[in-house]
Amino acid sequence: MVPRLMRLGVLPGLSERAWVVLLGVLVLGTISPTAIAAASSDDFTFNVTSIVVRKAEQLLELFRNGSRIKAYRICLGSNPIGAKTCVGDRKTPEGDYFVCYKSTGSRFWRFLGLSYPGEEDARRAFEQGAISLDKRNLIIDSIREGKRPPWDTELGGWVGIHGYPTDEYLRRWCAILLPKPDNWTDGCIAMWNSEIEELYSLVPVGTPVLIVP
């Protein structure tokens, strides 16, 4: 699937940083309305106090003290209907989580790790016989202490918000064949690299993330 051709007119008054953002989008071979909005805004300093992900709308919203301040179109797991329950189901989780890990060394440009599996995921899995009592308790204790839960159980892990591949060759092909908002991840939430770059700078570890169907 080839993305729609980009039409870029004259944009007077853009700052040097704005042009850098637009250039980064051009490298991906496409442009998104949210990237244009970000490039034309000088407010890169607001504090994000919570995030809401709406799976059905493929929308990630940023909130500051209860007021929505920005939204991005997103990609989800390639099997997006329903909540994640195990390794390899390619579903994006649903429930209450928080940003528990940040990395600039990701193979998907930037990575904001989410606290999946959460308490409810652990309880449900234990009741269904999918994990042991020890694993359930370890997950719950980690969440209550504000730490990253174990990502090596039967429930899966390393779920987060990230960009497109860091490798230039893979990034170009991924952007051409799977442009946003196509769902292509293993269960993570993906956005253009220019957008995750911005989001990464705005979201601290501990930020609550609500993911709804």
Tell me what pLDDT residue 13 has: 45
pLDDT of residue 206 exceeding 90: yes
| Angle between the N-to-C axes of helices 133-144 and 119-127, in degrees from 0 to 180, rounded to the nearest 10 | 170
Largest CA distance in the chain: 61
pLDDT tens digits, one per residue of 177-199: 999 999 999 999 999 999 999 99
pLDDT in tens, 8-44: 233 334 344 443 333 343 334 433 434 333 433 444 4
Q: What local confidence, expressed as pLDDT, does residue 46 receive?
A: 62
Is residue 17 within 8 A of residue 186, CB to CB? The reply is no
Confidence band, pLDDT 50/70/90 cuts, at residue 97 = very high
State how far the Cα of 153 lies from the Cα of 14, in Å rounded to an integer: 48
Please tell me the least confidently modeled range out of 34-43, 74-83, 88-97, 144-153.
Answer: 34-43
Q: What are the residue ranges of helices labelled H in 97-192?
A: 119-127, 133-144, 168-177
The two structure tokens encoding residue 3: 């993305």
Instruction: Name every residue whose Cβ is closer than 8 Å to that of residue 12 and which is 6 or more positions away in sequence.
Output: none
Please check whether residue 188 is in contact with residue 196, taking contact to mean a CB–CB distance below 8 angstroms: no
The conformation of residue 58, written as its DSSP 8-state character, comes to: T
Q: Which of 59-63, 158-162, 169-173, 187-191 is least confident?
A: 169-173
